[in-house]
Amino acid sequence: MNRLRRGERMVVMAQILASQPYKVFSLTEFAQMLGAAKSSISEDLSFIRGAFERFHLGKVETLPGVAGGVRFLPSRTPAQIRALAETLCQKLRDPGRVLPGGFLYTTDLISTPSLAAQIGEAFATFFSDRRPDVVLAMEVKGIPLALMTARAFNVPLVTIRREGRVTEGPSVSVNYVSGSSRVVQSMTLPLRAIPEGAKALFIDDFIRGGGTARGVYDLMREFRAEVVGIGVLVETAQPREKLVTRYVSLLVYEGVDEATGEVIVRPSRWVLELS
Amino acid sequence: MNRLRRGERMVVMAQILASQPYKVFSLTEFAQMLGAAKSSISEDLSFIRGAFERFHLGKVETLPGVAGGVRFLPSRTPAQIRALAETLCQKLRDPGRVLPGGFLYTTDLISTPSLAAQIGEAFATFFSDRRPDVVLAMEVKGIPLALMTARAFNVPLVTIRREGRVTEGPSVSVNYVSGSSRVVQSMTLPLRAIPEGAKALFIDDFIRGGGTARGVYDLMREFRAEVVGIGVLVETAQPREKLVTRYVSLLVYEGVDEATGEVIVRPSRWVLELS
């Protein structure tokens, strides 16, 4: 095997790190894989870290000590998150997106992998200090964003179902009242889906009254798991008071301009106040 | 701005290419972004291509001509796909995974982002010549694998629902007969979800009788769209004759060993015959 140039070593390490966020790789591992001295690997990594930082591609973190090594943390800058929010707002302003009942057609956006991945990394940035053990999704529309957030944290996605399914074994259900429609619904998770004491981050596409999010708190209590954060793509401006208080949204949906038919949507205060 | 070293340029380009599969970047774009001559960029790219190839990280493809440039195609080698199939088989052999009705608990595997991403790239490798315009998922369990496949192709995910939802506008429904249980069910898609003439790749977690897959064909006919492939993670050995003939599976589920309780599951012939 020919010896690799430094640039080639750097490309290989950067790719391996970025494809498995949060996973710690030891320098010895890289040294063996690439046939280079640990000192060279270490120097390569500092160049990679610098390049990633300068071009806002995420963080490369070196962990000292016996369990030490290096890992990649997806991270987006305030400017990148604001630009993403603006892009999404522009797409959402199309009057054709208004649906009966005050809903907004967002499915195409959250199902575009490149957008979903960016939204997931934005949530991973907002909640980087929470270090969740799992990311929770509520079926169906919340799944793509939750999966991309789970990917950014390199933790499992756990999908809450509206009904139990025979194919998943014994399960736990709770009832909850939809915050907007006041209808009683139920949500279910297989017993084996969440270990006791787990830290759970709930990611969803939309919050109006907050009934679903409140239900997720109740469900996690049954599992003795902790909700460490709630992230939603779009919150409605009304009702102002949600059934949950601690959440982060990217966008606020005000309603529809009666004259032009345009959707009134703007970046949330969390996005605007990022620094 | 300090001039970048070659290795740093290479890392930045590799990251940008790999994070947006199939997207074509022009050399001019990179030259401007990185403050380097196009000839240097071109040379960097050939080193990146070589490093990716040597370490099996995917393909970097140069497109000549006016619309030319460079792009990244996720691709896994036969050995990587076989190793993935073996890993999945090992995890699935646990007797605790057998559920009533002959089902298998796979939710934790398909919801682990790093595994789902690898499975998605395996499907992207199998179907690389089909160049789909959309990837179809059937709610709920098929979504993570379909999203990761969509990500590998950089095309939208379209999720077929079991019932219509008011929040998605006018929709098309078809009835289908579940191949195993003979129950009549329906599947629905919003009218705006698929453009006429689109090439659709259907990805699912499980195939038994093939009724769902047959329904997807019927549904796509209503949209005047074409099913260019069907990929499933697990197929059951029985019934041998499915309602669809053209599909690719990664694993075959034979049943349960009555003596040991062990799940009998093996890589499919598509995986074993890869070369």
Q: What is the pLDDT of residue A47?
A: 95
Residue B185 confidence class, pLDDT cut points 50, 70, 90: confident
Q: What is the pLDDT of residue B179?
A: 61
CATH number at residue A26: 1.10.10.10
- How far from B170 is each of A105, A109, A125, CA to CA, in Å? 11, 18, 36
Q: Cβ–Cβ of A151/B117 closer than 8 Å?
A: yes
Residue A61 confidence class, pLDDT cut points 50, 70, 90: very high
Average pLDDT, stretch B29-44? Answer: 94
Preceding amide of B239 cis, omega within 30:
yes
Report which secondary-structure segment, H or E, holds B8.
helix B6-19
Q: Cβ–Cβ of A14/B19 closer than 8 Å?
A: no
Structure tokens belonging to residue B181: 């249980």
Helix/strand/coil for B132: coil
Q: Is residue A196 one of the residues assigned to a domain?
A: yes
Residue A103 has its nearest CB partner, among B116, B150, B167, at B167
Q: Is residue B209 one of the residues assigned to a domain?
A: yes
| DSSP E strand boundaries for chain B | 59-63, 69-73, 98-99, 103-104, 134-138, 157-160, 171-177, 184-190, 199-207, 226-236, 248-256, 263-267
3-state secondary structure labels for all residues of chain A: CCCCCHHHHHHHHHHHHHHCCCCCECHHHHHHHHCCCHHHHHHHHHHHHHHHHHCCCCEEEEECCCCCEEEEECCCCHHHHHHHHHHHHHHHCCHHHEEHHHEECCHHHHCCHHHHHHHHHHHHHHCCCCCCCEEEEECCCCHHHHHHHHHHHCCCEEEEECCCCHHHCCEEEEEEECCCCCCEEEEEEEHHHCCCCCEEEEEEEEECCCHHHHHHHHHHHHCCCEEEEEEEEEEECCCCCCCCCCCEEEEEEEEECCCCCCEEEEECHHHHCCC
Residue A10 has its nearest CB partner, among B7, B139, B147, at B7
Look at residues B49, B73, B97 and tell me which one is the last residue of a structural domain.
Answer: B73
- The count of CB pairs under 8 A between chains A and B is 174
pLDDT, tens digit (0-9, with 9 covering 90-100), for A73-127: 999 999 999 999 999 999 999 888 887 776 788 999 999 999 999 999 999 999 9
Range with the poorest average pLDDT among A63-77, A174-188, B109-123, B135-149: A174-188
Q: What is the pLDDT of residue A262?
A: 86
Q: What is the pLDDT of residue A165?
A: 60
Q: Is residue A254 one of the residues assigned to a domain?
A: yes
Does the pLDDT at position B166 exceed 60?
Answer: no
Asked if residue A108 and residue A59 are part of one domain, the reply reads no
Asked if residue B135 and residue B92 are part of one domain, the reply reads yes
**What domain range is B172 assigned to?**
78-272
Residue B151 has its nearest CB partner, among A12, A105, A113, at A113
Instruction: Please give the single-letter amino acid code of residue B57.
Output: L
Q: What is the pLDDT of residue B95?
A: 86
| Residues in chain B within 8 Å Cβ distance of A6 | 7
Asked if residue A155 and residue A55 are part of one domain, the reply reads no
Asked if residue A138 and residue A26 are part of one domain, the reply reads no
Helix/strand/coil for B1: coil
Asked if residue B24 and residue B10 are part of one domain, the reply reads yes
Asked if residue B64 and residue B161 are part of one domain, the reply reads no
Q: What is the pLDDT of residue A9?
A: 95
Asked if residue B252 and residue B123 are part of one domain, the reply reads yes
Residue B113 has its nearest CB partner, among A139, A140, A147, at A147
Range with the poorest average pLDDT among A79-93, B98-112, B200-214: B98-112
Q: Cβ–Cβ of B5/A48 closer than 8 Å?
A: no
Count how many domains chain A has: 2
Q: How far apart are CA B85 and CA B26, in angstroms?
A: 36
| Residues in chain A within 8 Å Cβ distance of B47 | 5, 7-8, 11
Q: Cβ–Cβ of B139/A144 closer than 8 Å?
A: no
Residue B166 has its nearest CB partner, among A57, A101, A148, at A101
Q: Cβ–Cβ of A10/B12 closer than 8 Å?
A: no
Look at residues B43, B73, B103 and tell me which one is the last residue of a structural domain.
Answer: B73
Look at residues A14, A45, A73 and tell me which one is the last residue of a structural domain.
Answer: A73
Asked if residue B43 and residue B148 are part of one domain, the reply reads no
CATH number at residue B222: 3.40.50.2020
Average pLDDT, stretch B179-193? Answer: 83
| Residues in chain A within 8 Å Cβ distance of B8 | 10, 47, 50-51, 54
Q: pTM for the complete prediction?
A: 0.95
Q: Cβ–Cβ of B11/A144 closer than 8 Å?
A: no
Question: Cβ-count burial of B163 within 10 angstroms (0-12 exposed, 13-18 middle, 19+ buried)?
Answer: exposed
| Residues in chain B within 8 Å Cβ distance of A167 | 99, 101, 103, 105
Q: What is the pLDDT of residue A188?
A: 92
Range with the poorest average pLDDT among A65-74, B4-13, B174-183: B174-183
| Residues in chain B within 8 Å Cβ distance of A20 | 114
Q: Is residue B19 one of the residues assigned to a domain?
A: yes
User: From A56, which residue of chain B is nearest by alpha-carbon distance?
Assistant: B12
Asked if residue A241 and residue A114 are part of one domain, the reply reads yes
Structure tokens belonging to residue A185: 């619904």
User: From A16, which residue of chain B is nearest by alpha-carbon distance?
Assistant: B57
Does the pLDDT at position B144 exceed 70?
Answer: yes
Q: Is residue B261 one of the residues assigned to a domain?
A: yes
| Residues in chain B within 8 Å Cβ distance of A99 | 166-169
User: From A43, which residue of chain B is nearest by alpha-carbon distance?
Assistant: B7
Q: How far apart are CA A69 and CA A64, in angstroms?
A: 7
Q: Is residue A1 one of the residues assigned to a domain?
A: no
Q: How far is A97 from chain B (nearest CA, A)?
A: 9
Asked if residue B102 and residue B60 are part of one domain, the reply reads no
Average pLDDT, stretch B197-201? Answer: 98
Average pLDDT, stretch A119-142? Answer: 96
Q: How far apart are CA B174 and CA B77, in angstroms?
A: 38
| Residues in chain B within 8 Å Cβ distance of A166 | 99-101, 103
pLDDT, tens digit (0-9, with 9 covering 90-100), for A44-55: 999 999 999 999
Residue A7 has its nearest CB partner, among B6, B105, B159, at B6
Q: Is residue A63 one of the residues assigned to a domain?
A: yes
Q: What is the pLDDT of residue A162?
A: 85
Average pLDDT, stretch B183-206? Answer: 93
Q: What average pLDDT does chain B have?
A: 92
User: From A11, which residue of chain B is nearest by alpha-carbon distance?
Assistant: B11
Average pLDDT, stretch B213-239? Answer: 96
Average pLDDT, stretch B209-216? Answer: 94
Q: Cβ–Cβ of A161/B140 closer than 8 Å?
A: yes
Q: What is the pLDDT of residue A168?
A: 75
For an interface test with A, which of B33, B97, B133, B167 has the most A Cβ atoms less than 10 Å from its Cβ? B167
Q: What average pLDDT does chain A have?
A: 92
Does the pLDDT at position A1 exceed 60?
Answer: no
pLDDT, tens digit (0-9, with 9 covering 90-100), for A145-184: 999 999 999 999 999 998 766 567 788 999 998 766 678 8
Q: How far is A38 from chain B (nearest CA, A)?
A: 17
Does the pLDDT at position B55 exceed 80?
Answer: yes
User: From A52, which residue of chain B is nearest by alpha-carbon distance?
Assistant: B12
Q: Is residue B188 one of the residues assigned to a domain?
A: yes
Q: What is the pLDDT of residue B27?
A: 94
Average pLDDT, stretch B215-238? Answer: 96
User: From B9, which residue of chain A is nearest by alpha-carbon distance?
Assistant: A51
Q: What is the pLDDT of residue B156?
A: 97
Q: What is the pLDDT of residue B100?
A: 74
Asked if residue A163 and residue A125 are part of one domain, the reply reads yes
Average pLDDT, stretch B143-152? Answer: 98
Q: How far apart are CA B159 and CA B143, in angstroms?
A: 7
Output the furthest CA–CA distance in chain A (Å, rounded): 69
Q: Cβ–Cβ of A140/B147 closer than 8 Å?
A: no
Asked if residue A55 and residue A102 are part of one domain, the reply reads no
Residue B147 has its nearest CB partner, among A19, A113, A167, at A113
